[in-house]
Structure 1
Amino acid sequence: MSVKEVNGGYVIDFTLNHERFRETIPAPHNKTAAKRVEEQEAIYKMAISLNDKAIASRFPNSKIIQKAFDSGCNYTIHDYSNIWFKQKQRNWSHTTIRGYTQKYNSYIQPNWGHLKLTDFKASMFDEWASESLLSGKSINETRNVLSQIFKRAYFDGVIESNPVERIERYKQENIEPKPFNQSEIRRILKALQPPYKEFYQFAFYTGLRTGELLGLRWEDVDIENHVAHIRVNITSGKEKSPKTAGSIRTVELHDLAIQALRSIKSSIFYDSKRVFIDPKTMNEYKYADGLRKYVWKPTLEKLKVPYRYPYQCRHTYASMMLSQGKNPMWVAKQLGHSDWGMIRKVYGRWINQTL
């Protein structure tokens, strides 16, 4: 028996995994108390054997439980990922949650989720990265998620340092924009039927992000003063505020963007709320993937125009404006950047160039 009577109660005394555990439980000497202490001992053994913190949490003041679970770090990376997600996700956008979840489920959990936080070494990540076929950008994004999990544990005092800080960021290849030239733009717009023509004409001549195009409301548009106020964004079917403070902005509208708005407003595709609606359902767009698959891509294939994602409309607008001598800071504000550093980095060769 590992439960014995002593003055004033019972002693639980057992050895498990070559480690001795001992604790005195104050209780009267009777059959009911003795049975309760024996059951408590059995639960202790189960919790320790299974490393189950949920079971152990039933006895937070137990010396045995404290010794078994509080001496050193018993949290796995998966344990703390759940803690981190629960604490932080309220501040994240739907897109951020989806991105973090994808990186964690695809790369972190299967490789290191089972490890205790203290067993993870920076070299483990580097070894994985050296064999991975992922881009430098994806590897760095995975590193960022892993680092935030460890940072949460470090701030909580669970670990003494964040090992991910010792992992160097991987080189990312900058993919240069491939804007459409004026001939391509004219051919594409000529081939498109309303209201797709107006949608992409507005995209080419405003540089709005796809979600901003889908979310644009007539209340945000001032045709007479040639401006649009960007206040909402459609992401994964949900209306959200733009991602950053700089993205909430007022943009000056090109004459051809105004032309597209007037054409929509005088057509059968006019809707009182959204500027652009799906002509098949006459409802607002929730997603843009159908536009890309069934309108954009077939049109480029038919015209034999080298395929680029619709996001290149944004790059086309930026390169056009810079080539026409527009101030880079003005272009940055039009696109929703807080400064022109990104403009210089991404579009530098189009500044004062001829498209």
Structure 2
Amino acid sequence: MTDQDDLLPIGLEDALPERAAAITRAMRAVLDTMDSHGYDRVRPPLIEFEHSLGGRMQGVATRRMVRFTDPDSLRTLALRGDMTVQVGRIAATGLATAPRPLRLCYAGEVALLRADQLDPARQRLQMGAELIGSDAVAAASEAVLLAIASLEAAGLADISVDFTLPDLVDVLADGAFPLDPSAREAVRRELDTKDAGGLAAAGGHDYLPLLYATGPFSEAADKLKALDAGGELASRIEGLEAIVERIGSRARITLDPTERHGFEYQSWFGFTIYAAGARNAIGRGGTYTIRGSDEAATGFSLYAEPLLEALGSAEGAPRDTLFLPTDHDPSVAARLRAIGWRTVAAIDDGNDALALGCTHRLDGSEPVAL
């Protein structure tokens, strides 16, 4: 019988054995791929000073963090809501003198006081990689390709990537389509909502074509080029085309140049990763600047929940498990585990191999299928 106190808060849940195993397999595949590309893993703490977590990246909302007072320092602490900011702190402090570009990866739980309507989870496994010291096209290409390779290693094949230009309004407002600083936020807001009437009323009539420069990359890029009469976006569009060329046929590429959701601290380039079978985005990334050190960086984050959703039935593939009777030879069991067998040892003669989820039974020195 479940007691009221046994219930979990909204947005939190237990990962039972099958799901926990699937999460572990996906995390291992992702981290192994990042390691194979030269990214060293770091393990920042779960809790930091709130000011540090909120001060390294513009747009990080500390109000969504779980906060409390440190009994030692009496300062406000917070559970991390995004590990990217912690990697930025590590790069700017403990690894400040390390050669650049610095390649770091990570995996760990993050927690939020409040989730959003699109994703109600308040605790998530975040995995990612950061290339510190560059936000050039080559760095952006490496980030996108590594994200794709990591998902492929985890078992995904049907991947799509949506590009965006987070600083698009500022670039155009400073050049071809001047905007008063006080009007820029209103224009951004109306572009976010795709409201043509609201955009015109906000003084953004020149920005109306941006609402239609979306879709498959080639078509959307051509519309963006036609809009870019003054040439302010030329280098950015060329950069996007170079990234697309490197990706080739490994993913479908789309472009939504005004998308800002999830790109609060990105600079010239951002991308969102989707896969068939997942309702929400699997990850996001892009270029940014680490506040405090003002160092350019490029990276991405992936989340386990939509990744497992996209994997579907593949995540629950049963493993061969060998039942060891009470009189088994431990040296034989050790040899079989060394070559990859998973074993379950009987505690007494009444244990049922099938009920314990075993697929084989040890008979002497050899596994026999049940």
Whether the TM-score (by the shorter chain) exceeds 0.5 is no
More strand by share: 2
More helix by share: 1
Point out which structure has higher relative CO (alpha carbons under 8 A, 6+ apart): 2
TM-score range, shorter chain: under 0.3
Return the TM-score normalized by structure 1: 0.20
**For the pair shown, which has the larger CA radius of gyration, 1 or 2?**
1
